[in-house]
Structure 1
């Protein structure tokens, strides 16, 4: 997948004419997590784009509409914009168009959205989920879209996507991650949850114990996995390494206020302070424990490492 890039276009409302000169296939949605349901929608749009030999444009927003409609300032996301763009590139999207979702934008009516966004993005065909809305949901819904389209573009509606009898949704995935159910999150997303950021300074207690850690400085609006220790993989300089990652308050070392995400990368010795890293979450292995001292903590870390290396060895075996 390396080298695939999606072009990000930052829009303003109303959208300017001819930002994209050709006709387009336009996929609509917020797409947080780019989960299995989203992937099926985008794959369908890609199939149409390939058939018609037109570029595929995904229209999303810079923030979740709930931040405005429900005044949810502390909304937590599955993907940052850059992480979303990476996944869109993998799926063969040509353009990721990002509209600022402001209070003013939230107040436009359905016809204005169609005329000043969809039409300006040169849509030949619009692909969206059955529950997509573009204004007040009583009127600005997929059932009424043909009325506002006035025959100017085709419309493809993707039905509800189901997993184990339940809708595949970003809300369910956020909940799974908060509960440490990384297997369920993987099943719903179709890929492992990823957090990206840079390596910040820690207290270097891990170094003293023989378990140096990369302390992740991450975007504050990301969903944080349940407190505990996880089997993870950590990417440094484009290469993935097996690792174990702790999410916790450092209770043994007396820092009960701030959450730390610290990744001990197996068989890795480089100094990577300040560098970008990504952490891919596989399995919750245990909760946070307050130890009597650093010796007891070191013994537990040794056990954790053995258990997590065994987990990855079994994973590799089952994938052969």
Structure 2
């Protein structure tokens, strides 16, 4: 898969052929997004054309609503890996700037969709490219002027509710990892580098690694989780704490710290990824470090049993 970082206006030819173009922001690349991409793939194979996905470098809400605190399910690298697994040929990333946000619906079609050489556009029923009362999928044929075909996917639901990134973000914030996993079609993942923490875990016999996130990500509910952690291409069962280290210090900073089972390496500044499986308990302030250590021993046993039961 080739990642194309677009600059606007698009002045050069980016592909040698026409493409089937899937439109969306695709945060999380959840099961609804996967159905859309699969449908676009079917069209691409039938027409013997490559599949291109158009996304943006930031969520439009950051510009339209001035949201500087928007939290994502995927950073661009994570999104790209998922797209590649789904067989996408080109991932086009457009900079969503204030100027770009002011394109008229006709300008978006003429200066983006046409410039990307779309033979067919595939998008969800609720995709918009400007003011939603005008720039919607119902009106896209008017702006297209018969220059490309249009395939619209209906609303995707699970359990009677719409499958959407907003619902998944809320599930993660609530600690409902099972629901998030079902809607994503995979486990929620957070990636970044290992930072230098306070090394308190080492003193207790539970050496943890401190995740420094790559980008603004949705943070799971405060507590302890069954997770798996990827280091140097290998996954390790692990337990991960999301919290303020209330027993050891008073802090307003949230720490994400993982204790990897059967692992003992110095990996400061290395890249890691954490997969989130199950919420086990909330954060507790213990009267002593001995009490904290006893609880960590219980946590490890419970989480080891959780993964053992999954494998059986």
Partners in 1 of 2:297 and 2:13 — Cα distance? 59
User: Does residue 289 of the first structure (1) align with residue 284 of the second (2)?
Assistant: yes
Structural mapping, 1:1-320, within 5 Å? 6-317=1-312
1:3 aligns with: none
Quote the offset at 1:242 in angstroms: 0.3
1:220 and 1:287 mapped to 2: Cα distance? 25
Q: 3-state SS of the aligned residue for 1:101?
A: coil
What are the Cα deviations for residues 199-220 of structure 1, in whole angstroms up to 9, with x where unaligned? 0011111111111111000035
Mapped to 2, the partners of 1:275 and 1:153 lie a distance apart of: 46
Distance 1:84 1:188 in 2: 16
Instruction: Return the TM-score normalized by structure 2.
Output: 0.99
CA apart distance, 1:8: 1.1
Q: Deviations over 1:143-186 (max 9, x none)?
A: 01111111111100010000110000000000000010000000
CA contact (8 A) 2:230 2:272 kept: yes
What secondary structure sits across from 2:32 in the alignment?
helix
Q: CA deviation at 1:18?
A: 1.4
Contact 1:21 1:122 (8 Å CA) reproduced? no
Q: Does the 8 Å contact 2:239/2:303 carry over to 1? A: yes
Deviation, 1:16, is 2.2
Q: Is the 8 A contact 2:75 2:215 kept in 1?
A: no
Structure 2, unaligned runs of 5 or more? none
Partners of 2:62 and 2:70 within 8 A in 1: yes
Q: CA offsets, 1:78-119, max 9 Å, x none?
A: 000000000000100111101111111111101110111001
What TM-score does the superposition give when structure 1 sets the normalisation length? 0.96
8 Å CA contact retained: 1:245, 1:263: yes
Preserved contact between residue 193 and residue 214 of structure 2 (Cα < 8 Å): no
Structure 1 runs (4+) greater than 4 angstroms displaced = none
What are the Cα deviations for residues 233-268 of structure 1, in whole angstroms up to 9, with x where unaligned?
000011111000000000011132110000000000
Contact 1:60/1:97 (<8 A) preserved: yes
Q: Give the paired residue count.
A: 312
Q: Which runs of 5 or more structure 1 residues have no equivalent in the other structure?
A: 1-5
CA contact (8 A) 1:57 1:94 kept: yes
Deviation at 1:51, TM superposition (A): 1.9
| In 2, Cα distance between equivalents of 1:47 and 1:266 | 43
